[in-house]
Amino acid sequence: MRYLITGASGMLGRDLQTALEGRLVTALGRADLDVTNAAAVAAAVEGHDVVINCAAYTNVDEAETHEDAAYAVNAVGPANLAAACADLGARLVTISTDYVFDGSATTPYAEDRPRDPINAYGRTKAAGEELALERHPGGAYVVRTAWLYGAHGPNFAKTMLALAESRDTWSVVDDQLGQPTWTADLAAQIVAMLDADAPAGIYHGTNSGSATWFEFARAVLDESGVDPERITPTDSSAFVRPAPRPAYSVLGHDAWQAAGLSPMRDWREALADATARGVFARD
Q: Are 221 and 164 in contact (CB under 8 A)?
A: yes
Given this model, what pLDDT does residue 50 score?
Answer: 98
Strand partners, 178: 211
Whether 121 is a known active-site residue: answer yes
> What average pLDDT does the segment 191-218 reach?
98
Catalytic residue among 121, 149, 203, 248: 121
Phi, psi dihedrals of residue 234, rounded to the nearest 5°: -145, -175
pLDDT tens per residue across span 129-159: 999 999 999 999 999 999 999 999 899 999 9
> What average pLDDT does the segment 92-114 reach?
97
- Interstrand relation of 211-212 and 177-178 (parallel, antiparallel or unpaired): antiparallel
Given this model, what pLDDT does residue 240 score?
Answer: 85
Q: Which domains does the chain have, with CATH numbers?
A: 2-154+180-209+250-266 (3.40.50.720)
Given this model, what pLDDT does residue 283 score?
Answer: 55
Asked whether residue 8 carries a pLDDT value surpassing 90, the answer given is: yes
DSSP letter for each residue of 163-176: HHHH-S-EEEE-S-
> What average pLDDT does the segment 226-249 reach?
93
